[in-house]
Amino acid sequence: MAFIFLILFSSLAFAELCGPHEIYVREQWIESYTKTDSTNVRAHTRKAHCRELTRFNYYQDSTTQTFKKIKTNIKKWKPEEKKVVEEYLAKLPQWLKNYRLGEELRGDVGGNAHNPAAGIPLTRTLIVFDKFFEAPNKLAVLIHEVGHLTIMDLTNEEMAGFAKSSGWIIDRKKRIKIPPKTLIIPDSSESVSEDYANHIELYYSNPTLLKKLNPASYSFIGGIIKKREPK
Amino acid sequence: MKIFILTLLVFSFGCSSQLSHTDSSRDIFDKIIHVQKVATKDELIKTFGQPLEIKPEDDISEEYAYKDFSTSVSKSSGKVLGTSMPYWVNFDAYNFLKKRFKNNKWIETEMPGTTSDIEEDKYKVELPELGITFEYDNQDPLRRPMWIFFN
């Protein structure tokens, strides 16, 4: 019996997330419509699926996307700016390089005046602000932004394990997450996701400091990275 | 081939009919909600067995850690004070939970963003009849709560 169930439900049991070069498209309700050849299509549910990013690392001078929290003016790329971003994207560790970006946009200022770049997880978009070109740590900035995308692919155990190793406390009585007492970068207290991206950044830019600040999270994040680095 | 498929269907129907009369038909949500209602350590252990680990939490409570969730239990009274379950799953969690709790009151509130360098679209969901709360980010393609709280 167990064997029959294994056959019947194996696709569910071993379902995997989309690859780093794909975008997850949610299940959606499609209203009835008529095709150009006059065929009537009934209203139906389109199942969730992974869609390959065929067009990636695509520099755009404008966008149809609207942003809720990030306030910036999108402007034209200069050829020399593209060259700088390309140069540093090429230096990303291989497992991060596998995360294809849907769009790369050029913004003036990103809310916080010191912000060098921002990410849009749903559309895999990178926005590069003016500050990026003055930043001495351009590679670290890009590692951080792409790092944000990689939290999406953690398993449940990895996500909970990372938060625990970093020192997040889950207060079940108050129903809140309490940030770690020792923060590796001050804005790590903003969210588990920010803390995770900071860990990925520091693991590459200053591993000695990360190990000193939090040996447990250094070891945990190292394990996550090793699993994903190409053999 | 037809006979084989029919046999599979008969087997799976027979099995699901049998399951519906047993405790196995209750999923982890039903079981945690039940324990939260009874709110005793004894009921927690009766429902889920012994925890993998019991860890000191603070002056008043201990964490009973199970494979998929953790429960805070009062040291003095043995009362269940709250449960949290990490839910970083590999499917559209919001879609699943919305269907799973379609018969319950579902209150959704937009939350302010917390992070400056990443686009967020966060919401808090409360199911007051069941004592469930969680947050999700619409920017996460799978709309997952990092933790679901029960209390």
Check: CB of residue A132 under 8 Å from CB of residue A86. Answer: no
pLDDT in tens, A172-183: 999 999 999 999
- Give yes or no for A154 touching B (CB within 8 A): yes
Indicate if the pLDDT at residue B28 is higher than 50: yes
Please report which confidence band the pLDDT of residue B1 belongs to, taking 50, 70 and 90 as the band edges: low
Distance CA B66, CA A141 (A): 38
Please report which confidence band the pLDDT of residue B18 belongs to, taking 50, 70 and 90 as the band edges: very low
Look at A14-18, A24-28, B95-99, B130-134 and tell me which has the smallest mean pLDDT.
Answer: A14-18
Residues 76-135 of B with CB under 8 A from A: 81-84, 86-92, 95, 113-121, 133
- Give yes or no for A216 touching B (CB within 8 A): no
pLDDT in tens, A48-68: 888 887 776 789 999 999 998
pLDDT in tens, A177-213: 999 999 999 999 999 999 999 999 999 999 999 999 9
Minimum Cα–Cα distance from B15: chain A residue: A1
Residues of B in contact with A122 (CB under 8 A): 119, 138-141
Rounded to two decimals, the pTM is 0.85
Token pair listed for A150:
């990689």
* Averaged confidence pLDDT in chain B: 88
Q: Do A1 and B118 touch (CB under 8 A)?
A: no
Distance CA B141, CA A48 (A): 10
- Give yes or no for B61 touching A (CB within 8 A): yes
- Find where tokens 């006059």 sit: A38
Question: Which is more confident, A12 or A144?
Answer: A144
Please report which confidence band the pLDDT of residue A122 belongs to, taking 50, 70 and 90 as the band edges: very high
Check: CB of residue B65 under 8 Å from CB of residue B54. Answer: yes
- Give yes or no for B39 touching A (CB within 8 A): no
Read off φ and ψ for residue B102, nearest 5 degrees: -65, -20
Check: CB of residue A180 under 8 Å from CB of residue A195. Answer: yes
Q: Do B117 and A145 touch (CB under 8 A)?
A: yes
Q: Looking at residue A4, what is its pLDDT?
A: 47
Check: CB of residue B123 under 8 Å from CB of residue B53. Answer: no
Question: Which is more confident, A65 or B25?
Answer: A65
Q: Looking at residue B74, what is its pLDDT?
A: 98
- Separation in Å, CA of A58 to nearest CA in chain B: 19
Please report which confidence band the pLDDT of residue A21 belongs to, taking 50, 70 and 90 as the band edges: confident
Helix A156-166 × helix A215-228 angle, to 10°: 150
Question: Which is more confident, A58 or A229?
Answer: A229
The DSSP bridge partners found for residue B66 are: none
Check: CB of residue A53 under 8 Å from CB of residue A124. Answer: yes
Nearest neighbour of A121 by CB, restricted to B84, B118, B149:
B118
Check: CB of residue B63 under 8 Å from CB of residue B71. Answer: yes
- Give yes or no for A6 touching B (CB within 8 A): no
Indicate if the pLDDT at residue B16 is higher than 70: no
Please report which confidence band the pLDDT of residue B112 belongs to, taking 50, 70 and 90 as the band edges: confident
Please report which confidence band the pLDDT of residue A18 belongs to, taking 50, 70 and 90 as the band edges: confident
- Give yes or no for A160 touching B (CB within 8 A): yes
Please report which confidence band the pLDDT of residue B22 belongs to, taking 50, 70 and 90 as the band edges: very low
ipTM given for this complex: 0.83
Q: Looking at residue B3, what is its pLDDT?
A: 56
